[in-house]
Amino acid sequence: MLRLDGLSRTYPTGTQALAHLTLDVGAGEIVAIVGGSGCGKSTLLRLVAGLDRPSGGRIELDGEAITAPHPGVGIVFQEPRLLAWLTVAQNIGFGIAHLPRAEREARIATALERIGLAGHGGRWPRELSGGQAQRVALARALVARPRVLLLDEPFSALDAFTRADLQEHLMALWEDSRPTLLLVTHDIDEALALADRIVVMRPHPGRIGTMLSVPTARPRPQPRPTGTPEAEALKRQILNVLRPARQQMALPAAAE
DSSP lists the bridge partners of residue 75 as 150
Residues 97, 197: Cα–Cα separation, whole Å: 34
The topology (CATH level 3) of 2-81+147-255 is Rossmann fold (3.40.50)
Please say whether the beta carbons of 196 and 215 come within 8 A.
Answer: no
- For residue 219, the model assigns a pLDDT of 63
- For residue 251, the model assigns a pLDDT of 37
| Residues 3-31, mean pLDDT to the nearest whole number | 94
Please say whether the beta carbons of 173 and 138 come within 8 A.
Answer: yes
Look over the chain and give the mean of its residue pLDDT values, rounded to a whole number.
Answer: 88
For 141, the 3-state DSSP assignment is helix
Instruction: Name all contacts of 96-100 with Cβ < 8 Å and 24+ positions apart.
Output: 96/143, 96/144
- Max intra-chain CA distance, the chain: 64
Q: How confident is the model at residue 226 (pLDDT cuts 50, 70, 90)?
A: low
155-182 pLDDT tens trace: 887 888 888 888 888 888 888 889 999 9
- For residue 256, the model assigns a pLDDT of 29
CA atoms within 13 A on the CB side of 141: 28
Taken as a whole, the chain contains a residue count of 256
Residues 184, 204: Cα–Cα separation, whole Å: 18
| Residues 184-196, mean pLDDT to the nearest whole number | 91
